[in-house]
């Protein structure tokens, strides 16, 4: 069984988190059964972007990173204080651990900024939220990232994406990394994609 750490910051977008729980959950029942998602936060309760409270299954202080096989991070909103957690020392340590061990890391939208802040994207290709009104691509470049305007970018073990609309594509790519193309296609089919 592959254990996926779903790392949640205050101010995360619920939709971006739910795609990981849904697709990887469908894999447990309709796919090869090899994935389990465990939600982790820095606090006993987290406030999602659109104002509801979520209780993560575990807190950072209670986990052993060596027992996890992959990392998933949804993005969030600055106005909801997403970057306070996402740029914290604890978040950075988690990200660096998974990258050091070359374990799969999937991020959606601005979660790539947390990856960049940790230093793991320096001299690597990545993307982030890139609507014409946003300055997030310029912010990503300040970390020494080779910025791409592609919707989704895969660089070795890391997936980054450009907006919430990429979420389902990201998680199916992540499932393929964790299992196989055949299995990911099967789950995609039974989910109606």
14-57 per-position pLDDT tens digit:
999 999 999 999 999 999 999 999 999 999 999 999 888 999 99
Instruction: Sketch out the chain's domains with CATH numbers.
Output: 2-188 (3.40.50.880)
For the CA atoms of 189, 191, 192, 193, what is the dihedral angle to 10 degrees? -70
- Judge whether 35 and 104 are in contact, CB under 8 Å: no
Under DSSP, the state recorded for 12 is B
Taking the C-alpha atoms of residue 136 and residue 20, their distance in angstroms, rounded to an integer, is: 23
Whole-structure pTM value: 0.97
pLDDT tens track for 90-126 = 999 999 999 999 999 999 999 999 999 999 999 999 9
Average pLDDT over residues 165-189: 98
- Chain segment 71-84, per-residue pLDDT in tens: 999 999 999 999 99
Find out whether 152 and 161 touch, Cβ atoms under 8 Å: yes
Distance CA 91, CA 85 (A): 7
CA–CA distance, 180 with 26 (Å, rounded to integer): 15
Q: Which of 105, 112, 106 is nearest to 126 (CA)?
A: 112
What's the chain's average pLDDT?
97
> For the residues 117-140, what does the mean pLDDT come to?
96
Distance, C-alpha 107 to centroid of its chain: 3
């Amino acid at each position: 069984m592959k254990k996926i750490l779903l790392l949640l910051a205050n101010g995360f977008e619920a939709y971006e988190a739910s795609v990981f729980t849904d697709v990887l959950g469908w894999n447990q029942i309709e796919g090869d059964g090899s994935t389990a998602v465990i939600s982790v936060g820095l606090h006993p309760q987290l406030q999602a972007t659109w104002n509801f409270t979520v209780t993560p299954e575990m807190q950072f202080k209670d986990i052993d990173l060596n027992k996890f096989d992959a990392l998933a991070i949804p993005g969030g909103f600055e106005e909801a204080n997403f970057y306070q957690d996402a740029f914290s020392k604890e978040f950075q340590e988690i990200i660096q651990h998974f990258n050091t061990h070359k374990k799969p890391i999937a991020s959606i939208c601005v979660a790539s900024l947390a990856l960049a802040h940790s230093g793991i994207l320096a001299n690597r290709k990545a993307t982030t939220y890139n609507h014409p009104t946003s300055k997030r691509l310029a912010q990503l470049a300040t970390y020494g990232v080779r910025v791409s305007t592609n919707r989704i970018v895969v660089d070795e073990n890391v997936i980054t994406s450009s907006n919430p609309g990429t979420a389902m594509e990201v998680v199916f790519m992540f499932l393929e990394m964790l299992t196989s193309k055949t299995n990911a296609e099967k789950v995609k089919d039974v989910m109606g994609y």
